[in-house]
Structure 1
């Protein structure tokens, strides 16, 4: 649980939201915003068929990740208009993963979107940042269609300059100030170095339980073939919960899953 200024949360929602699959496109179960919390930042992650965008704002939070449908994200964005400082809490209740936003007596509860595919955004951005100095990226032009460009306009919503840097065959790295990173697939500004200060955001979040390393946001299968998602890192002394990736409204303590499923095997992204 943490508090955040409503305007800061609204800003990162606005920055990421344009990056969405269009009607009629195959979204591959990725048509949702991902709210991802680490001890230092709250991230909003979105993608389309050609773009990936990650906006963040500083918070003192826990470790969890939750997909949110666009309709619910729109409702949250409207609710924030009349808010100042909001408390954000990630909870599991009645088999559902929920995000609870509170200010005084006002409260909005947003359910996590079911059956959203795994988006390995941290791995993708680490690869992008590693490609910056590749010889094939030097001196290449950046090519964007009008539709591509329109998706990035909100990245500079607070007046930041938007930088497009060619990564050669990898695509184009997009930055706007210190808290926005994006990737545009292929088709001299003195701002911050792209990726500087993002190491904590891009670090894989692992924790040890009963001798097994588990990754927040990753998918695992038990011996029955049932797929489970690890939604959050438990607090000290608490047991982790798992969310079913196959059935709606199924959330169980990991001990209950292992009592039937025997073991968990990490599924590929």
Structure 2
């Protein structure tokens, strides 16, 4: 449980909300907005067929992850408009994983989306950051602010791809199809190195139970072949709880899942 300013939570949701699969796409298994909490940050993760976006805001919370349907995320975003300081809780009720947002007597409960695939966003971003820092990486970074991007939005008026290519100190060349060419003057921002400070957010969230490691958000199979998800890291002295990835509203302590005597098998992402 933690508290957060409503405007900070709303801004975090807004930064990733545009990144989702279109209605005619087949990959609805990942058409969710993921809320993911670590001890230092709350992350919001959006994914489409071509993009991955992660925004975060500082909190002092527990460790959990919950996929949320976009309609529920939109309802939460509207509720935040009339809020100031919100308490956020990750709970399990009636076999369902839920996120509860409270301010005084006002409350909204958002259910976790069931039967969704796991989005390995941490691994994907670690790969991207490693590639950027590789000594054989080619090219220079291109930095554009939101106003810059708005200026180039109509360059591909007929659906052409818009390419941004760094020319070093000269600036950034912008092309779109055979009939458009532009140049963006370079920026001299003195900001942090992109990706710096994200190591804690991208670290694998493993915890030890009964001599074996489990990962928050990871999918596991039991002896009967049923798939389970680890939704949160248990508190000190608490038993981990597992949520069924096969049947909605089935939540069990790990001791019951392991009644067959065999430990869980990690499933690939």
TM-score range, shorter chain: 0.7 to 0.9
Provide Cα deviations, 1:125-184, integer angstroms capped at 9, x if missing partner.
000001113466422797xxxxxx78xx9xxxxxxxxxx898xxxxxxxxxxxxxxxxxx
* Residues 224 and 261 in structure 1, CA contact (< 8 A), matched pair in contact too: no
Larger RCO: Structure 1 or Structure 2 (Cα < 8 Å, ≥ 6 residues apart)?
1
- Alignment partner of 2:124: what SS? helix
| Match in the other structure for 2:216 | 216
**Cα separation, 1, equivalents of 2:201 and 2:90:** 18
Name the residue aligned to 2:123: 123
Moved more, 255-264 or 208-217: 255-264
Other structure's SS at 1:56 match:
strand
Q: CA RMSD in A?
A: 2.0
Range 189-198 or range 2-11, more displaced: 189-198
TM-score, structure 2 normalization = 0.81
Instruction: Map Cα deviations across residues 37-92 of structure 1 (whole Å, 9 max, x no partner).
Output: 00000000010000000000000000000000001000000000000000000011
Partner in structure 2 of residue 262 of structure 1: 262
In the TM superposition, residue 212 of structure 1 has moved relative to its aligned partner by 1.2
Partner of 2:181: none
1: CA distance, partners of 2:251 / 2:71: 23
Rg bigger for which structure? 2
Structural mapping, 1:140-179, within 5 Å: none
How many residue pairs get matched?
230
Q: Name the CA shift for 1:261/1:34 in 2 (closer, same or farther; >3 Å).
A: farther
TM-score normalised by the chain length of structure 1:
0.81
5+ unaligned residues in a row in structure 2: which ranges? 143-148, 154-163, 167-185
Identify the residue that residue 112 of structure 2 maps to in structure 1. 112
* CA distance in 1: counterparts of 2:55 and 2:204, whole angstroms: 17
How far apart, in 2, do the equivalents of 1:81 and 1:261 lie? Answer: 50
User: What is the aligned partner in structure 1 of residue 160 from structure 2?
Assistant: none
Alpha-carbon distance in structure 2 between the residues aligned to 1:100 and 1:27: 28
Q: Distance in 2 between matches of 1:26 and 1:112?
A: 21
Q: CA deviation at 1:27?
A: 1.8
- 1:247 alignment counterpart: 247
